[in-house]
A = this chain, B = another copy of it.
Amino acid sequence: MENTFKSFLAPSRILLGPGPATVNPRVLKALSQPTLGHLDPNVISMMDEIKAMLRNSFLTENEHTFVISAPGSVGMEFSFVNLIEPGEKVIICTNGYFGDRMKQVAERSGAEVVVVAGEWGKPLDIENLKITLKYNPDTKFVGFVSSETSTGVRNDTKALCEIAKQAGCITIVDAVTTLGATEFRVDEWGVDMAYSCSQKGLGSVPGMSPVTISPLAVEKIKNRKTPITSWFLDLNNVWPYWGSFEKRSYHHTAPVNSFYALHESLVILMEEGLENSWSRHTRNHLYLSDAMATLGMDFYVEAPYRLPQLNTILLKEGMDDAAIRKSLLLDYGIEVGAGLGAGFGKLWRIGLMGYGSNIENIDRLMNALKIIL
């Protein structure tokens, strides 16, 4: 039988959606280096550098800072399957699609879930968490999303963690859209478990999930009385793979090329400086904000709670969502994100993340939009 399949050729695109962001050519070059065995000494020392640079990015001294070899949503699952034993009470504060997902993942882990339901497009209410904790003194965990990718809302991680810690809870924070893009301080803010992804603020290719775990959370996991249902995500299996330089035990075959890419994206972040990266994301967000105003387009979220890396822009009366996004993509090679869930057809999600957060990209988007509209 003759073969009819051909090599895939990726067209050139500017990715201004909710992620992946456009990847720095340096990262793509690193990605395509020859594959090495996952027990090669060069790989092991590279993995040690990844751990060190992730600590610098999460602003933590947590020893248990490493990478799950799967997408960010698996980082979420990793957190819950390790920490939670059946019947333990967890409060999930939710004000968007990914908060809802956290609730589902928590339920599957066997938790008794109490939801603090916030409004989409508004930040989580600190007082609501305080009251819910008061009426649920047996709560062991509080989980929430720091940057809600579905709505573009920044939740106040510091304040939420403070309340949770006062109540003696372990905090689980989704930093998927946060890490590298906006302020996030694991140790200073009392974050016990955080997970992120490779393809947003860090600007690498998609598929990896950096995680960090405080000594308190590690202790909780070590003292479990019930087994962890997932073999792949069991910290007791995966940590010996990342933890020790000298005696490392086999777990899975690491996606070495994806590690090369993540390593390079972290080197780029270290070169720029973490706080400089945060400032750049804010600066470009304000530039976009001014540009959108010239089109008479407004943000979905009130100014103090906007995420610089994920801009939710309301469509104006009569604008054809699908047609405009299609033209942007196919005629101008620019991807912007549709609304997710309740926001579909009502707003765009414009990501300015990692390498993709620059003025040239915004100018190209605005020029294309002016022609299309």
Residues of A near any B CB (own CB < 8 A):
3, 5-13, 15, 17, 19-20, 22-23, 26, 28-40, 42, 46, 49, 52-53, 69-74, 76-77, 81, 101, 104-105, 108-110, 197, 199, 205-207, 227-232, 250-258, 260-261, 263-264, 266-267, 270-271, 273, 329, 335, 340
A46 to B9, CA, bound (A): 10
Total copies of this chain within the assembly: 2
Chain B residue at minimum C-beta to C-beta distance from A207: B255
List, in ascending order, chain B residues with CB within 8 A of A32's CB.
Answer: 28-29, 31-32
A12: which B residues are within 8 A, CB to CB? 34
Q: List 15 A-B contacts (CB under 8 A).
A: A5-B267, A8-B267, A10-B33, A10-B42, A11-B36, A11-B42, A17-B39, A23-B35, A70-B74, A71-B252, A71-B255, A81-B230, A101-B231, A205-B257, A207-B253
| Chain B residue contacts of A108, Cβ below 8 A | 227-231
Q: Majority SS of interface residues in chain A?
A: loop
- Contact of A207 (CB < 8 Å), options: B46, B110, B258, B271: B258
Q: Provide the residues of chain B in CB contact with A28, threshold 8 Å.
A: 32-35, 257
Q: Give bound CA distance, A37 to B333, whole Å.
A: 11
Complex interface: chain B residues within 8 A of A199 (CB): 35, 253
A69 touches B72 (CB 8 A): no
Choose among A10, A49, A110 the residue with the greatest number of B CB atoms under 10 Å from its CB. Answer: A10
